[in-house]
Amino acid sequence: MGACTTRRTPRVVLAVGSLAAGLSLAATAWLWSTLAHLPPLDLAAANARSTVVLDRAGTLLRPFATADGRWRLPLEPDAVYPRFLAMLTAYEDRRFRAHPGVDARALLRAAGQWLAAGRIVSGASTLSMQVARLVEPRGERSLNAKLRQIARAIDLERRLGKDGVLRLYLALAPYGGPVEGLRAASLAYFGREPARLTLAEAALLVALPQAPEGRRPDRFPDAARRARDRVLDIAAARGVVPAAEANAAKAEPVPHGRKPFPMLGPHAAEAALAQEPGRAVHRLTLDARLQARLEPLVAERAAALGPGLSAALLVIDNATGEVRAQVGSAGYLDATRSGAIDMTGALRSPGSALKPFVYAMAFESGLAHPETLIEDRPSRFGASYAPENFDLTFQGTVTARRALQLSLNVPAVELMERVGPARFIARLRASGAGIVLPKDAAPGLPVALGGLGITLADLARLYAGLARGGEVPGLRRRLDVPAEAAVLPRIAEPVAAWYVADTLRGTPPPESALPNRIAYKTGTSYGYRDAWAVGFDRRTTVAVWLGRPDGAGVPGLVGRIAAAPLLFDAFARLGGDPEPVPRPRDALVATTSTLPPPLRSLRRDGGPADRLRIAYPPDGARIDLGVEGGTPAGLALKAHGGTLPLTWLVGGLPVTESDRRQAEWQPDGAGFVRISVLDATGASDSVMVRIE
């Protein structure tokens, strides 16, 4: 019986081979007929990808699911771990680069085995055929469906080429549940990009698409391990990886759960999506590494301060106005802290955080110098306004520098009265800050102490302006949108801005922090609702806010105690040593005793009849001085009222002193200048003119 079987075997094999050849010819004829009549394939659905938000270097900040709830992230083959691609082709399609979409040798082998055994022994599906099935899914499993799949695979290779087909596979391969494509799977199961996979991780991701639900490591880790190890064995047998490395990779555990997708800068990502909902890839100015260092820091500090508190932080590149980090809350998913609310854009009371700009306007107007003596004593302004300091004490006679460093209230209100609240608010608004006054009230002296609403973003911009010599930058949040060349009025003249920056650099730091590192100011709003700290050096501005999003007070929430330590810790995470703002060449560095007499102390103005005012040039004038010998002619300066002698200042610097009410100043070129005059009592007036 055994001998008879042996004699018949060659005839059976010959018959099977002949039948396979005949079927192959018939299939080939059908294939060419099908190709000729194949309907066009709309790849729009296959090319649909998750919207992604990237940082300035292209690092993924946050992906968004597709409209049908799938995670399908864009990926180029050159951004994949090379061994993954080698194992994929060795395991799934060894002749991928050689065949036209269908591997005829594998197909004939599979057909012969099927006919000989009466069942499917091995498959012949190429990567191109798998992609054809993914882009044009069909429910039936028949010979006709398989032949149509073959035709579509050849069609795809003709249209897209090998790299295009591979790109589709990397995007569409199923990995269990809503996870599709290699990049989404790599992030979901390993929390890393496909270029950083280990050998074991890559092998698992090669194996999963064959049975994505049955091998899901978060549900069936043993099946996932067996499938991974089989890929490693085949890769070693076919020379893709050394056997020793394959065996070592088998010792790695498989993941038992899915990891969350990246969610860095979630508020910035959502804002970008809302701004341009049709864009598939959003490129922001954020730095993902810095963002990843600051988000946990903010959450940790808010949690330590108590329940219900949130916090926000903004980092700005002073040179460009680019937002390098934006932490909108103490935890985007923390509902107990209203984490979904972006507090960098919320209107809040700044407390004392706006005092530096009062001083800047006083310095540029010639009202004071950082070494001017000013009184911090009980004072009444108007009929009933009598401000007190935070600690309910008074310091007596101090310099303006010390008054700002200690955030004394009476000196700030005194300077605000001289500057003028309406003029102060107009300057802030002209510089791009969205200032909101209570119930649209007229500006009053309390605005010096925070009696208005401003956002953290606007406050950060204003401080960045101090670092830039008074030029307030527009915030740039996107790299995929051209920067706007907005020209805004200065928040301060260069010398005045440096006076403030130099003063704030000497502000006593919080406990355990080094002094004279950054220029900074804190603020605490009425009722302990908001704690602020804003600091800057030459390169960077960092702004911090803490409080309850619902506006409720938090006893003990003080800017210096709660916000300043967070500010200094954030600066430490920037890397590098802070650099001071460079001093302008014409800044006046002096002691109180060496200042011009009108600048040595701040005293009350005289009565209305004797009030000092500039008669010429008028405020806002455009003056064409002409040219005499290559230099502009002198500009006449005239004043009314006041007590002689008069000191004239340009840009905050004394230029001439006169025993008369008129003088002459020689401009050194065209441009905007602020001209101020002080009398012997310290009274002052100023105008802004343009020299042409």
Instruction: Indicate which residues carry an active-site annotation.
Output: 92, 352
Buried b (16+ CB within 10 A) or exposed e, 63-82: bbebeeebbbbbbebeebbe
Vertex 89 angle, CA 88 and 90, to 5°: 95
Cα 407 to Cα 10, 66, 123, 562, distances in angstroms: 102, 52, 79, 16
Residue among 127, 105, 123 nearest 114 (CA): 123
Cis ω for the linkage preceding 617 (within 30 of 0): yes
Rounded CA gap, 566 and 327, in Å?
13
Two tokens, residue 390: 């935070």
Alpha carbon separation from 611 to 345, 408, 466 (Å, rounded): 42, 27, 31
H or E element in which residue 637 lies:
strand 635-640
Rounded CA gap, 566 and 686, in Å? 39
> Residue type for 671, please?
G
Find where tokens 């795809």 sit.
Answer: 156
Cα–Cα distance for residue pair 508/449, rounded to 1 Å: 20
Give backbone dihedrals phi and psi of 357, rounded to 5 degrees, phi first. Answer: -80, -25
Q: Residue 561's CB: how many other CB atoms inside 10 A?
A: 15
* Alpha-carbon span 141 to 258, nearest angstrom: 32
d(CA 78, CA 513): 46
| Strand ranges (E), 100-256 | 179-180
**What pairs with residue 524 in β-bridges?**
531
Residue environment code for 246-284, b if the CB has 16+ CB neighbours within 10 A, otherwise e: beebeeeebbeebeebbebbbbbbbbbbeeeeeeeebbb
- What stretch of H or E contains 311? strand 310-317
Query: Residue 98 contacts by C-beta under 8 Å, 6 or more apart in sequence?
Result: none
CB atoms within 10 A of CB 520: 27
The answer to whether 128 touches 165, Cβ cutoff 8 Å, is yes
Segments in 374-514 forming alpha helices (H): 400-405, 409-419, 421-430, 456-467, 494-505
Pairing of strands 310-317, 281-283: unpaired
Cα–Cα dist 118/141, whole Å: 17
Residue 485's SS3 state is coil
